[in-house]
């Protein structure tokens, strides 16, 4: 891939990952890495060999301990002077595919997930007395310091601090499940992002605000400025849902109204589907037992938030022509597709496909409706 101006670096090992041996890099045939908001990131690495004098050596290479499930993998891409960490994860499965006929390669395929996989391996029954959720989140993340976890924990605007005489928070499940469960109470998210430097990971527990400097614009049908190979949109406006109802407040005993609150995300569309009463659904809030009004409104808002991103764009780009790496969980501009769909979007997912001759990215972008809130988008991102 050096002829494309792209250099892939592989660190791998059972405890502390080290640079992959030269013969292993020579056998590397392709890499696929997927980042998707709300889900664990994953990767697949394919090594290939062929029949001939080197076959026994190649097969022995494939049996190296550093390729076994449980080993850590760090993939970085250099486009210019600075590396971008594509994935920091653990191998969870390996497949060995012998050649079936003459000319076919023998393949070893390693499949893995980001380091949050380690947080989902042991179910626990733990009490967290007199500790608010932010403290519990920090405490859990600290247990995984060996993966270079950098905690970013944002306190919610209305934190429900437990009083020991009233209740004691308990954890019943894995650490990852508990972090996600706590995040859901406040319409928050939890995810682990590789980087900012190799060997570190950012563990984010906080609101899905979708802020940041827009990346280089995805440009369609603009002659030499066009940098995407395909891009199409769908608008599922009828899926937008508001939540309304009532709850018997646990603290006061009063029956109080519950309405899903407007999103805290920066709006990208002037015409959001949730504001269209002709198509937006209304869902009845059904309270869980023992909820207070703060918890109930958070539940309703989170339920409504799941349906807000009704406009979805899917496409593919050539990384060399795009001039950079499109990052998921970030903001990107679109231009050249017309008034309804130009503007800013949230990058919901990106799948990186790297071979020796190409670097392609498939992507999915979303927002809450049509017609942009900004008159123009940045043509080039800021590195």
Residue range 103-161, pLDDT digits in tens: 777 888 999 999 999 999 999 999 888 899 999 999 999 999 999 999 999 998 776 67
Does 153 lie in the same domain as 25? no
**Cβ-contact 237, 333 below 8 angstroms:** no
Give the model confidence (pLDDT) of 304-363 as tens digits.
888 899 999 999 999 989 989 999 999 999 999 999 999 999 999 999 999 988 999 999
Residues in contact with 188: Cβ distance below 8 Å, sequence separation at least 6, in sequence order:
154, 156, 182, 205, 206, 207, 208
Identify the band that residue 270 occupies on the pLDDT scale cut at 50, 70 and 90.
Answer: very high
Written as six digits, the tokens of 96 are: 């060995």
Range of the structural domain that residue 45 is part of: 2-118
pLDDT at 261: 84
Q: Are residues 88 and 135 in the same domain?
A: no
Give yes or no: residues 39 and 169 share one domain. Answer: no
Is 177 part of a structural domain of the chain? yes
Last residue of a domain, one of 72, 99, 118: 118
Bridge partners, residue 49, by sequence: 106
Is residue 224 domain-shared with residue 359, that is, in the same domain? yes
The dihedrals phi and psi of 276, each to the nearest 5 degrees, come to -95, 100
What percent of the chain shows pLDDT beyond 70? 93
Average model confidence (pLDDT) for the chain?
89
pTM: 0.88
> Per the structure block, which two tokens stand in for 134?
């932010």
Same domain, 80 and 12: yes
Does 142 lie in the same domain as 99?
Answer: no
Residue 56 confidence class, pLDDT cut points 50, 70, 90: very low
pLDDT tens, residue by residue, 276-316: 888 889 999 987 777 888 878 878 887 888 889 999 999 99
Which DSSP state fits 161?
A: P
Q: Which of 50, 98, 55, 94 is nearest to 71 (CA)?
A: 94
Same-domain check for residues 110 and 132: no
Helix axes 175-185, 133-142, angle to 10 degrees: 150
Last residue of a domain, one of 59, 93, 118: 118
Domain count, the chain: 4
Over the Cα atoms of the chain, what is R_g?
A: 24
* 378 within some domain: no
The Cα-based distances of 284 to 57, 160, 184, 205, 297 in angstroms read 65, 24, 19, 28, 12
Q: Is residue 324 part of a domain?
A: yes
Report residue 59's pLDDT band, with 50, 70 and 90 as the boundaries: low
Last residue of a domain, one of 95, 118, 141: 118
The whole-angstrom separation of Cα 72 and Cα 150 is 18
Please list, in sequence order, all residues whose beta carbon lies within 8 angstroms of the beta carbon of residue 242, skipping any fewer than 6 positions away: 259, 260, 274, 280, 281, 282, 283, 304
Q: Residue 49, CB half-sphere, CA atoms under 13 Å: how many?
A: 20
Residues 44 and 56 in one domain: yes
345 belongs to a structural domain: yes
Q: Does any domain span residue 379?
A: no
Same domain, 174 and 194: yes
> Is 98 within the bounds of a domain?
yes
């Amino acid at each position: 891939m050096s002829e494309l101006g792209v250099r892939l670096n592989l660190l791998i090992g059972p405890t502390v990952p080290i640079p992959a041996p030269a013969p292993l890099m020579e056998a590397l045939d392709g890499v696929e890495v997927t980042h998707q908001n709300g889900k664990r990131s994953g990767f697949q690495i394919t090594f290939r060999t062929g029949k001939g004098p080197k076959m026994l050596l190649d097969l022995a290479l494939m049996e190296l301990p550093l390729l076994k499930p449980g080993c850590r993998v760090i993939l970085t891409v250099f486009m210019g002077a600075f590396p971008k960490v594509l994935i920091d994860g653990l191998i969870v499965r390996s497949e060995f595919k012998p050649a079936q006929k003459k000319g076919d390669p023998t393949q070893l395929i390693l499949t893995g997930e980001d380091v949050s996989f380690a947080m989902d391996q042991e179910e626990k029954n733990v009490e967290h007395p007199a500790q608010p959720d932010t403290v519990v989140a920090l405490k859990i993340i600290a247990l995984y310091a060996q993966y270079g976890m950098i905690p970013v924990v944002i306190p919610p605007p209305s934190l429900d601090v437990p009083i020991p005489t009233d209740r004691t928070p308990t954890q019943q499940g894995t650490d990852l499940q508990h972090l996600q469960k706590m995040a859901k109470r406040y319409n928050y998210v939890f995810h682990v992002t590789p980087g900012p430097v190799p060997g570190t990971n950012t563990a984010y527990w906080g609101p899905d605000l979708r802020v940041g400097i827009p990346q280089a614009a995805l440009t369609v049908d603009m002659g030499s400025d066009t940098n995407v190979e395909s891009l199409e949109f769908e608008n599922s406006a009828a899926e937008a849902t508001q939540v309304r109802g009532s709850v018997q407040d646990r603290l006061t005993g009063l029956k109080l109204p519950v309405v899903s609150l407007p999103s805290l995300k920066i709006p990208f569309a002037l015409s959001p589907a949730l504001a269209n009463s002709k198509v937006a659904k209304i869902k009845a809030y059904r309270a869980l037992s023992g909820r207070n009004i703060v918890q109930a409104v958070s539940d309703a808002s989170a339920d409504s938030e799941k349906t807000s991103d009704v406009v979805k764009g899917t496409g593919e780009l050539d990384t060399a022509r795009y001039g950079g790496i499109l990052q998921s969980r970030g903001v990107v501009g679109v231009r050249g597709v017309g008034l309804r769909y130009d503007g800013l979007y949230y990058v919901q997912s990106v799948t990186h496909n790297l071979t020796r001759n190409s670097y392609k990215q498939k992507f999915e972008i979303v927002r809450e409706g049509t017609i942009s809130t900004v008159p123009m988008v940045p043509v080039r991102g800021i590195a």
